[in-house]
Amino acid sequence: MAKIDRRILKTQEALKKAIIELMSEKNFDDITLQDLSDRANISRGTFYLHYMDKYDLLDKLIETHINELRERCEAAADLDFVSGSLIWTEYLEDNYSFFSMMLASKGAPYFRNRFVDFLVEEFRNEVDVTKGKNQGLNADLTVTFVASAYVGVVEWWFSNEMPISHQALAEQLGTLLERICE
């Protein structure tokens, strides 16, 4: 794989940081390319070397986090729900500014739906409706319930400024997932 120029990475990181900061100050629709360029200390021309528009920047930022969560899911595939949730909650905490902006305040409205869709995909193989206490339930409904509940708890955690540690959150989420999915 070709090595990416550090200047490119630095510019992209500055733009990602700028959009998160600006979204904490105003609605996404009110953010201009000039706002982004000024905050990232780059020219508008440099912005266009990296992204088509502010929607492309936000989409790539969201995609980066979803892909990272997907990789963490794959790495945690053989773990129990509590241990797997610990990997997730640590990542959520480490990226507090992004996730809190997207879930708990004026974030991009479509992020939540993308997050739920991603979780539905991840939980689809975890929920068994052919036996046990979930037997006879509709699989799509059950998986959507689990994914929506998970996102709701994460929203609560960010909206309340992380009132419990990410370890405690992981333990609670993992225990709940074990009860629902097994």
31 and 74 within one domain? no
CATH code of residue 120:
1.10.357.10
Residue 163 has pLDDT above 60, yes or no: yes
Q: Return the pLDDT at 27.
A: 87
Residue 107 has pLDDT above 70, yes or no: no
107 and 17 within one domain? no
154 and 81 within one domain? yes
pTM (whole model) above 0.75: yes
The whole-angstrom separation of Cα 181 and Cα 125 is 9
pLDDT tens track for 43-90: 999 999 999 999 999 999 999 999 999 999 998 888 999 999 999 999
Average pLDDT (4-26) is 92
The whole-angstrom separation of Cα 112 and Cα 4 is 31
The whole-angstrom separation of Cα 138 and Cα 157 is 29
pLDDT confidence tier of residue 118, bands split at 50, 70 and 90:
very high
39 and 95 within one domain? no
Q: Residue 13 CA to chain centroid, in angstroms?
A: 17
Do the domain assignments include residue 20?
yes
Q: Residue 173 CA to chain centroid, in angstroms?
A: 16
Q: Return the pLDDT at 138.
A: 95
25 and 80 within one domain? no
171 and 95 within one domain? yes
Other beta carbons less than 10 A from residue 13's beta carbon: 11
Q: Return the pLDDT at 4.
A: 78
Do the domain assignments include residue 60?
no
Q: What is each CA distance from 23 to 71, 121, 132, in whole angstroms?
A: 27, 28, 45
Range of the domain at 40: 1-51
Which residue, among 60, 18, 13, has the nearest Cα to 36 in the 3D structure?
18
Which residue, among 69, 65, 76, 85, has the nearest Cα to 121 in the 3D structure?
69
Average pLDDT (102-129) is 85
- Give the up-direction half-sphere exposure of residue 143: CA atoms within 13 A in the CB hemisphere: 17
The whole-angstrom separation of Cα 25 and Cα 106 is 9
Which residue, among 69, 72, 79, 86, has the nearest Cα to 170 in the 3D structure?
86
**Overall domain count for the chain:** 2
163 and 77 within one domain? yes
Q: Return the pLDDT at 103.
A: 86
Across the chain, mean pLDDT equals 92
150 and 116 within one domain? yes
CATH code of residue 15:
1.10.10.60
